[in-house]
Amino acid sequence: MTKKKTKKISLTNEFVFEIVKTLISILIALGLTFVVIVLLSDNPIELFTKLLTAPVTKVRYFGNVIEMMIPIAFSGLAVSLLFRTGLFNLGIEGIYFIGGVVTAAVACTAIDSYVLHPILSILIPAIVGGLLMLIPGFLKAKFNANELVVSLMLNSIYLGLGLFIIKNYLRGIDTSAIASPAFQETAMLDYIIPNTRITISFFLLLIAVFLVYLLLYKTRLGYSIRMTGTNMKFALYSGMNAFTLFMLVHFISGFLGGIGTSVELLSLYGRFTWIVLPGLGFNGALMAMLGRNNPVGVLISAFFISYLAKGAEVMALGSDVPVEIMAIIQAVLVLLVSSQYFLRKWRERQLLKEGTANELS
Amino acid sequence: MNLADFFASVLTTSFVFVIIRVAVPLVCASLSAYTAGISGMNNIAVEGIMLMAALMAVLGSYWTQSAWLGLLIAILTGIVMALMIALFSMRLGANPILVGIALNTFATSFSIFLLYLFTKNKGSSASLASKILPTVDIPIIKDIPFIGDIISGHYVITYLVVLAMIVIYLLIYKTPLGLRIKAAGLDQEAARSVGVNVNRVRIISLIISGLIGALGGAYITMGYMSVFVKNIISGRGWIGIAVAGMAGSSFPILIITTMLFSIFQAVTNIFLLYNLPSELINTIPYVAVLVGIIIFSITETRKRKKGELD
């Protein structure tokens, strides 16, 4: 009797319930996508299979998945820390842009070392990113300025400032496009897996996930972050100075953003070519939501979304269904996963049933 | 740059006309963010609502071959999107800001998705014969020198937006419903305790928010321009959110700030003609809002501190 009880997967367990909820959300999102494909195409089964399986058919495709995952996982980590503290700051988008310009500045400088140059090209943008995030952090901590609005304004300002720097001080003369000169060969990160463009940045990401996990769950700062996120007033009573807390969170977030943008450019680009905001920071916000602001969750979400994005890309080749179908999958998923009450009634019924069963036995 | 030239181009009727032209979508964005925000239900999907409405205005007017039906379809799209915020945040318990972020990213890609389906082109709707809304010459007024040149001859939506501005002002400040909306935004528990149906009030606010946002989106593709191109709203919705965030619950500050912003934008356009660094000049409006919000926050903090001391 007792054996049967423990074996039964109980929906009353919060963790199990969240997983079931996520799986159901995925099924709904994919189901909806399938319906759309059926409407648009003559061979829906083939296309849908491609969407789901294409990334594992070639090493190169799977490599692409990892390549796509890295920048949005970094920005997801950065945003998740902010969200977790209850700060709706979307500034990582701007940090990716201006951090990219800083990366270009360092990577174009001649530093004759294959070790020092990449380290500096990642570390300097990271520090600059952290410092720049202190602007909205300070305004929030000191004057309670609306961080969402401030960060959005800063995004546009960084875009203009970054383009100004590229055009006037960091313009590549060997190209007609608005872009920086090619990065020095010493700065570029090497591909470490054959047939892919995966670099050391993959391991940096894993380390970052681990460190953010430690920070959140094993340190006092992390405890303050989690508590403040559930109740802003906590920050005032927690003993940890709210000002210090906000500043630290913003700095770490910007630091992660700086790493994310630099490894992206040093792995895949070779020169700075963005002329609009890259969208990687906003995508990070979605990853943070999907991963419920948990570092491991963010990593899994970034992988999952990148996997589907690659699948959609392969599927779109030579078919009537554009790759933007990803928008439907992503939006439905994110919305359902962030809905606290989605399936809650069902869960409550289970709770009730279990409660009555316990009472009877 | 010659200063005299600059003033010569600023102090003309056509410049004021340009300010109004630039201001219309920004006013819509601000009003959209304001009406939702004041009820305590932040709508940060304004950008996405305007984008989808801009697209549906083009598609709708092409399908129906009527500019007015196109406008109607655009407005319905805006309302549906705003109601999504209501659905997910009120019924399903998601944070409205997160829903807004998701809707914005959705609109960015989904607009291209639809554009491609109907035009086989991911960049622009130029191949569709969509309709634009007519301009209006106001009789008598149009013959008044100076004033006639400024306020006559705009697109229909411009006058609709002025009307909407007045209606929203009256609604918020002069009607019981407006009082309820503000109450729901200030303290929903207190509002509930005196019998305000908070959810219903917020849904009404969101519907107005979606409607006015859509009007701004349709203006872009049915007046300001006559085609839809990728990312055509280019941040106007975000500006509206910033302005509304700065204005708080004050309608006059909202409108004044939006107009200041529009003037900045129009002046920026003139600066660009003088071969100044356009990238930096483009940031002037954003810097202005940023400075504005910093000053606003500092004075608010001072006020609060003073209040605590008293």
Neighbours of B118 (CB within 10 A): 15
Backbone angles phi, psi at A170, to 5 degrees: -140, 40
The answer to whether the CB of B97 falls within 8 A of the CB of A88 is yes
List, in order, residues 6 or more apart from A43 with CB less than 8 Å away.
Answer: none
Q: Is A331's CB within 8 Å of B105's CB?
A: yes
Secondary structure string (H, E, C) spanning A296-348: HHHHHHHHHHHHHHHHHHHHHCCCCCCHHHHHHHHHHHHHHHCCCCCCHHHHH
Q: Is A148's CB within 8 Å of B245's CB?
A: yes
**Chain B residues near residue A148 by CB distance under 8 angstroms:** 44, 97, 241, 245
Residue B164 burial (C-beta neighbours within 10 Å; 0-12, 13-18, 19+): buried
- Cα–Cα distance between B104 and B229 in angstroms, integer? 16
**Chain A residues near residue B93 by CB distance under 8 angstroms:** 339-342, 344
Instruction: Report yes or no: A282 at the B interface, CB cutoff 8 Å.
Output: yes
Mean pLDDT is lowest, of A219-223, A338-342, B57-61, B203-207, for A338-342
* Helix residue spans in chain A (DSSP H): 2-7, 14-40, 44-53, 59-84, 92-108, 116-143, 147-169, 201-218, 220-230, 232-237, 242-264, 280-290, 295-316, 326-337, 344-360
Instruction: Report yes or no: B150 at the A interface, CB cutoff 8 Å.
Output: no
Task: Give the best-scoring range by mean pLDDT among A221-235, B140-154, B197-211, B234-248.
Answer: B197-211
Instruction: Report yes or no: A169 at the B interface, CB cutoff 8 Å.
Output: no
Q: Map out the domains of chain B as residue ranges.
A: 3-309
Instruction: Report yes or no: A344 at the B interface, CB cutoff 8 Å.
Output: yes
- What are the per-10-residue average pLDDT scores of chain A (361 residues)? 48 78 92 93 91 93 96 97 92 96 95 93 97 96 89 94 93 87 92 90 96 94 85 68 90 97 95 92 92 94 95 90 90 89 80 77 65
Task: Give the best-scoring range by mean pLDDT among A146-160, A340-354, B270-284, B287-301.
Answer: A146-160
Backbone angles phi, psi at A46, to 5 degrees: -60, -45
Instruction: Report yes or no: A178 at the B interface, CB cutoff 8 Å.
Output: no
Instruction: Report yes or no: B148 at the A interface, CB cutoff 8 Å.
Output: no
What's residue B252's pLDDT? 93
Instruction: Report yes or no: A326 at the B interface, CB cutoff 8 Å.
Output: yes
Q: Which two tokens stand for residue B206?
A: 């969101």
**Chain B residues near residue A160 by CB distance under 8 angstroms:** 279-280, 282-283, 286
**Chain B residues 153-212 with CB within 8 Å of chain A:** none
What's residue B9's pLDDT? 67
Position of tokens 């400032």?
Answer: A161
Burial B45-59 (b: 16+ CB within 10 A, else e): bbbbbbbbbbbbbbb
Position of tokens 């934008």?
Answer: B265
Calculate Rg over the CA atoms of chain A.
23
**Chain B residues near residue A154 by CB distance under 8 angstroms:** 286, 290
State which CATH number among 2.60.40, 1.10.3470, 2.40.50, 1.10.287 fits the domain covering A66-315.
Answer: 1.10.3470
The answer to whether the CB of A79 falls within 8 A of the CB of A92 is yes
Neighbours of A245 (CB within 10 A): 21
**Chain B residues near residue A146 by CB distance under 8 angstroms:** 245-246, 293, 297
Neighbours of A84 (CB within 10 A): 23
**Between B97, B112, B293, which is nearest A88 by CB?**
B97
Mean pLDDT is lowest, of A11-25, A117-131, B83-97, B245-259, for A11-25
pLDDT of B87 higher than 50:
yes
- Cα–Cα distance between B117 and B140 in angstroms, integer? 46
What's residue B275's pLDDT? 73
pLDDT of B303 higher than 90:
no
Strand-pairing partners, residue B155, are B135
DSSP for B107-169, written as a single string: HHHHHHHHHHHHHS-SSB-TTS----PPB-PPTTGGGSTTHHHHHSS-BHHHHHHHHHHHHHH
pLDDT of B309 higher than 70:
no
DSSP H or E stretch at residue B286: helix B284-309
What's residue B202's pLDDT? 95
Q: What angle (nearest 5°) sits at the alpha carbon of residue B151, between those of residues B146 and B153?
A: 105
**Chain A residues near residue B97 by CB distance under 8 angstroms:** 88, 148
Q: Is B117's CB within 8 Å of A146's CB?
A: no
pLDDT of B47 higher than 70:
yes
- Cα–Cα distance between B260 and B163 in angstroms, integer? 20
- Locate the chain A residue with the closest alpha carbon to B97: A88
pLDDT of B201 higher than 80:
yes
**Between A152, A168, A331, which is nearest B102 by CB?**
A331
SS3 state of residue B229: strand
The number of CA neighbours under 13 Å toward the Cβ of A43 is 9
SS3 state of residue A200: coil
The number of CA neighbours under 13 Å toward the Cβ of A191 is 14
- Locate the chain A residue with the closest alpha carbon to B301: A143
Min Cα separation A308/chain B (Å)? 15
Q: Which two tokens stand for residue B233?
A: 């709203």
- Cα–Cα distance between B136 and B131 in angstroms, integer? 16
Of A292 and B143, the structure prediction assigns the larger pLDDT to A292
Q: Which amino acid is at B148?
A: G
Alpha-carbon dihedral A235, A240, A242, A245, rounded to 10 degrees: -110
Q: What angle (nearest 5°) sits at the alpha carbon of residue A272, between those of residues A267 and A274?
A: 110
SS3 state of residue B267: helix
What's residue A1's pLDDT? 40
Q: Map out the domains of chain A as residue ranges.
A: 12-41+320-361, 66-315
**Chain A residues near residue B98 by CB distance under 8 angstroms:** 289, 334, 338
List, in order, residues 6 or more apart from A245 with CB less than 8 Å away.
Answer: A85, A221, A224, A225, A228, A235, A238
Q: Is A340's CB within 8 Å of B93's CB?
A: yes
The answer to whether the CB of B301 falls within 8 A of the CB of A182 is no
Q: Is A328's CB within 8 Å of B241's CB?
A: no
Q: Is B283's CB within 8 Å of A322's CB?
A: no
**Between A152, A324, A341, which is nearest B242 by CB?**
A152
User: What's the CATH fold of domain B3-309?
Assistant: ABC transporter involved in vitamin B12 uptake, BtuC (1.10.3470)
DSSP for A201-226, written as a single string: HHHHHHHHHHHHHHHHHHSHHHHHHH
Q: Is B298's CB within 8 Å of A339's CB?
A: no
- Cα–Cα distance between A18 and A15 in angstroms, integer? 5
Calculate Rg over the CA atoms of chain B.
20
**Chain B residues 3-62 with CB within 8 Å of chain A:** 44
For residue B268, give the nearest of B288, B285, B256, B286 by alpha carbon. Answer: B285
Burial A54-67 (b: 16+ CB within 10 A, else e): bbeeeeebbbbbbb
Residue A106 burial (C-beta neighbours within 10 Å; 0-12, 13-18, 19+): buried
Q: Which two tokens stand for residue B127?
A: 């191949």
Q: Which two tokens stand for residue B288?
A: 């202005």
Q: Is A285's CB within 8 Å of B101's CB?
A: yes
For residue B225, give the nearest of B235, B217, B215, B237 by alpha carbon. Answer: B217
Q: Which amino acid is at B3?
A: L
Instruction: Report yes or no: B122 at the A interface, CB cutoff 8 Å.
Output: yes
